[in-house]
């Protein structure tokens, strides 16, 4: 389950006034949920037996096979993780000492449907595998992309300057651009990032 979770994208989800990042993977054998507010990371991994036991406690009137229950739970979570929460399903979260509970309330065939995810702090290795390493890899990839684009812009400026020195002129003056200044660009960009973060 956790290896399958690695291929799932993070999604931004809101519970009341709080915003989280979340990802989940559901199978007939159980599920795993990972959720973070970028200060802490919590997770829950539950097998079919644990899901069956909890479903009996929370949904005494529902008599369905565990795999069907897991499919229904997946169907309820999918719109939330896709950024299109279903109006007929409500989600709420509660932070407790050392953990986070996510409460789901919906209905199945006219009967109420409840589920509670009981998440505990994720181990360091899991946080590293699902959050830290991918972010660092993406950051390095973006740095390489910026360096390549900067090099390309400087080459284009040199090419344009060569045309000008050869006597070429723009047919439309509105297309004129100023030479690219890497230091100015970096300074302005960092100023925007800081103002956005504050």
Q: What residue ranges define each of the domains in the chain, with the CATH number in brackets? A: 1-121 (2.170.210.10), 128-196 (1.10.287.450)
Q: What's the mean pLDDT in 94-115? A: 88
Question: What local confidence, expressed as pLDDT, does residue 21 receive?
Answer: 95
> Is the pLDDT assigned to residue 11 strictly greater than 70?
yes
pTM for this model (two decimals): 0.77
Where helices occur in the chain by DSSP H, the ranges are 2-5, 48-58, 66-81, 124-127, 133-165, 182-197
Question: What local confidence, expressed as pLDDT, does residue 190 receive?
Answer: 85
Contact 76, 107 (CB under 8 A): no
> Is the pLDDT assigned to residue 103 strictly greater than 70?
yes
d(CA 175, CA 34): 49
Q: What's the mean pLDDT in 93-108? A: 89
Q: What's the mean pLDDT in 117-137? A: 94
* pLDDT tens digits, one per residue of 168-192: 888 888 888 888 888 888 888 888 8
> Is the pLDDT assigned to residue 198 strictly greater than 80?
no
Which residue would you say has higher pLDDT here, 110 or 120? 120
- Secondary structure class of 180 (helix, strand, coil): coil
Concatenating the DSSP letter of every residue in 50-72 gives HHHHHHHHH-TT----HHHHHHH
d(CA 117, CA 66): 16
């Amino acid at each position: 389950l956790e290896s399958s979770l690695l291929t799932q994208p993070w999604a931004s989800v809101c519970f009341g006034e709080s915003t989280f990042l979340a990802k989940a993977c559901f199978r007939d054998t159980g599920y795993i949920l990972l959720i973070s507010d970028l200060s802490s990371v919590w997770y829950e991994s539950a097998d079919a037996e644990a899901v069956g036991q909890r479903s009996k406690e929370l949904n005494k009137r529902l008599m369905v096979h565990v795999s069907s229950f897991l499919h229904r739970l997946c169907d309820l979570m999918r719109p939330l993780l896709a950024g299109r929460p279903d109006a007929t399903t409500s989600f709420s979260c509660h932070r407790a000492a050392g953990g986070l509970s996510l409460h789901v309330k919906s209905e199945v065939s006219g009967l109420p449907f409840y589920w509670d995810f009981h998440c505990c702090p994720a181990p360091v290795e899991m946080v590293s595998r699902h959050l830290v390493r991918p972010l660092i890899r993406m950051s390095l990839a973006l740095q390489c992309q910026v360096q390549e684009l900067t090099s390309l812009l400087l080459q284009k400026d040199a090419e344009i300057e060569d045309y000008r020195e050869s006597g070429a002129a723009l047919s439309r003056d509105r297309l004129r651009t100023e030479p690219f200044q890497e230091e100015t660009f970096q300074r302005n960009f960092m100023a925007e990032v800081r103002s956005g973060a504050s």
